[in-house]
Amino acid sequence: MNSLASIVKFFQDGGVFMYPNLLILAIATAIVLERLVVLARSGTSGERLWGQLAPMVQARRMDEAVRTCTQSMRPLYQVLAGGLRAMKGPFTREDVQGGIDEGMTKVVPRVEARLHYLPNLANVATLLGLLGTIIGLIQDFTAVSMADPAQKASLLAQGISVAMNNTAFGLIIAIPTMLAYTFLQSRANRIVENLEEYALRLANLAGQMAKSEALSEGYSNGAELTQGRRAMGMVKGAVHAK
């Protein structure tokens, strides 16, 4: 009970600038909690998923591989699904990489969303605390200048102590906010690195498959094979049209 009363008195003594910092504390806390939930749900065992997908891709079971990826909204599933859709027909490594890049542009911003607000909020909290302290000191010095000389020292000490509450509260907000930002940013970076690793694996596997298929059909590379197939399809379409 005494601790609660001390906290309330500390807040009340700080003056009006404590309220904007209280709002910043509420916003920062909401962002941290929301990001913790989102990033926790975004984590994926990439090795386990790759162990499921690689045999399907190598066996040309693309529809099954795509269905496996569309069962989850986690970022890694969505990125790989974009590359796998590009492998349903004739493809090159560039086609698959394009599908992967499209998926990355959708999921990476969601992983990193709102994190950049945290350091800004921490800076604003610190500056508001300093501003509150300066305004409080100005008011205290003005009041002390008109006080009884015998009371000036005690009034000045008391006024400075109260004014410092603003700086203290600003730092109380800023320090945990920056620590939370560092933790969340490192977590988001690990998720993005995981996406890039398995996206590269899929692109490399697609390139190997396209090259192997091209060599087996007498082409020098996968691009020539794809172009040949597309040209054949256009010829067949023209014949059917006639």
Q: pLDDT per residue over 125-139, tens digit each?
A: 999 998 888 887 877
- Span 26-40, average pLDDT: 95
In this predicted structure, the answer to whether residue 37 has a pLDDT above a threshold of 60 is yes
pLDDT of res. 12 = 74
- Maximum average pLDDT range among 18-27, 130-139, 203-212: 18-27
pLDDT of res. 190 = 93
Q: What percent of the chain has pLDDT over 90?
A: 31
Q: What percent of the chain has pLDDT over 70?
A: 79
In this predicted structure, the answer to whether residue 205 has a pLDDT above a threshold of 70 is yes
Check: CB of residue 15 under 8 Å from CB of residue 115.
Answer: no
First-to-last alpha carbon distance for the chain, in angstroms, is 91
Check: CB of residue 75 under 8 Å from CB of residue 195.
Answer: yes
Q: Which of 29, 182, 33, 198 shows the shortest CA–CA distance to 107?
A: 198
- SS3 of 169-238: HHHHHHHHHHHHHHHHHHHHHHHHHHHHHHHHHHHHHHHHHHHHHHHHCCCCCHHHHHHHHHHHHHHHHH
CA angle 128, 129, 135 (to 5 degrees): 85
Distance CA 56, CA 59 (A): 5
What's the mean pLDDT when you consider all of the chain? 81
pLDDT of res. 235 = 34
Distance CA 195, CA 39 (A): 13
Residue with tokens 């200048």: 145
